[in-house]
Amino acid sequence: MYPIIPPFLLLIALALISKLFSEELQLVNIGMIHLLPILYAAMRLGRRDTLIVSVASVLTFNFFFIPPTFTFTVHDLRYIFSFVIMIVVGQIVSWLSAQAAIAKELETSERLQETLLGSLSHELRTPLAAIMGASSGLLTEELDLNSEDKKELYYTIDQGAHRMRRLIDNLLDTARLQSGMFKLKIQECDIRELLGSALSKTEHTFPAKLTINEEITSIQGDAVLIEQALFNLLENAFKYGDTVNVSAEQNPVGILIRICNTGSIPPKNEASMAWKPFSRLSNVRGEEGIGLGLYVAYRIAKMHAGSVETMSDGVQFCATLQLPYRGEG
C-alpha cells in the first residue's frame, strides 16, 4: 500500500461523517475535522505528500461544505484565509516532525557510538592484555619455560589474535553493509554446500544435528555473503548452546533455515531483539563480543530481500533465516 493512501481514506471517511452530521457539527467544527488527515500525513509523510493531502482536504471541505456547495467557487473570501491556514499548519507540523526524526536519529547514532566505544574498549583490552602478557613471558629470559609452558603462551597469543580478528571483521562487515555501496554478486547457491562450509569454519566442540529437506533447491544470491550470514548464526548458536539443531526447508517464498540451540537462553522478551546492533542480552553477560554477529546476518538477509528473526520459548533459542529464490541484485 502506498503511504499516501491511508490519509486519503481517512479524509473520505471524515467527509462522509461530516456530511451526515453537518447540521449538528457546523462549519467551524467540520473545518477542524478536515485538519485531521493533514496532521496524520504531516506526522508520517514528507512535506510534498502532506501538501497533496492538505490541498485535497481543503478542496473537499470547500466543495461539500462551504456555500455554495458542490462548487469550488468561494463567495466569502474569509474562507480563503482558513484554507491557507490549513495548508500552512500541515507544512509546519511536517517540518517539525522531520526535525524531531532527525534529532532522534542523531540521538540514536550517538548512543550507538557510545555503546560501540564502550564495548570496544572492553573487548579489545582483554585480548590485548592476554597477548601482551603471553608475549612478555616468552621474551623474559629469566623465566625458565619448558616446551609445554611455551606452547600454552603461544596458544594464548593465537586465541587473543583470533578474538581481535573476529571483532574487527564484524565491525568492517557492518560498515561495509551499512554504506549502501555494496553490490551483490548474484550466482546459483547450493544451501547444503554453504551450510557445510559455514559449519566447517565454526569453532565447536560438539556436532550439530542437521535436518535438510532432500528436495531443497538452489537459490540465486551472493554465495560469500550468505555463507557469512550462516556462519554468524551458527557461531552464535555454538557459542551459547549445549546442543545445536539446524534445519533447512523450502516454502512458497524461498528457503527457510532455522538454527536452534539449548543452553544459555535469553528471556522471551529479549530474544526478538537479539539481531539489533550492539545488542547484549542478559544471558551473555561476561561473554566476549560486541553484539554485531546477528546484526551482520540480518543486514545480509535484507540485502537479499530476506529476513532474520530470533525468538525463544524458554527452552531453546532459534534464529530463522528466510531467503527468497532470487535475491536482489
- Which of 329, 327, 273 has its CA nearest to residue 304? 327
How far out from the chain centre does Cα 197 lie?
26
> Based on the structure, what is the number of domains in the chain?
3
Query: Virtual CA dihedral for 117, 123, 127, 133, nearest 10 degrees?
Result: 70
Give yes or no: residues 132 and 78 share one domain: no
Asked if 278 and 296 sit in the same domain, the reply is yes
Q: Which residue carries 532455522 as its cell?
A: 258
In this structure, of 22-36, 117-131, 139-153, 185-199, the range with the lowest mean pLDDT score is 117-131
User: Do 239 and 266 lie in a common domain?
Assistant: yes
Output the domain CATH number for residue 223: 3.30.565.10
- Same domain for 293 and 202, yes or no, is yes
Q: pTM here?
A: 0.57
By CB neighbour count within 10 A (0-12 exposed, 13-18 middle, 19+ buried), where does 103 fall? exposed
Cell numbers that stand for 63 in this block: 466543495
Does some domain include residue 263? yes
Under a CB-based contact definition with an 8 Å cutoff, are residues 201 and 162 in contact? Answer: no
Q: Which of 43, 66, 101 is a domain's end point?
A: 101
Mean pLDDT along residues 100-116: 71
Q: What domain range is 151 assigned to?
A: 120-177
Please state whether the peptide bond connecting residue 68 to the residue before it is cis, i.e. omega within 30 degrees of 0. Answer: yes
**Same domain, yes or no: 190 and 287:** yes
Q: Read out DSSP for 254-292?
A: EEEEEEEEEES---HHHHTTTTSTT---GGGTTSS--S-
Question: Does residue 327 form part of some domain?
Answer: no
Residues 283 and 313 in one domain: yes
* DSSP-assigned letter for residue 307: E
Same domain, 162 and 280: no
Are 79 and 66 contacting, i.e. CB atoms less than 8 angstroms apart? yes
Q: Is residue 203 part of a domain?
A: yes
pLDDT tens-place string over residues 25-65: 888 888 899 899 999 989 888 889 889 999 999 999 988 88
User: Please, which residues have CB within 8 angstroms of residue 142's CB and are 6 or more apart in sequence?
Assistant: none
Q: Is the pLDDT of residue 327 over 70?
A: no
- Same domain for 154 and 270: no
Cell of 203: 569453532
C-alpha cell at 277: 546492533
At 148, which CATH number? 1.10.287
Report the C-alpha gap between 293 and 132 in whole angstroms: 26
CA proximity to 321, closest of 262, 243, 237? 237
Residue of 329 and 66 predicted with greater confidence = 66
Claim to verify: residue 164 and residue 59 sit in the same structural domain? no
Cα dihedral sign, 225-231-232-233: positive
The answer as to whether 112 is a domain residue is: no
The more confident residue out of 168 and 247 is 247
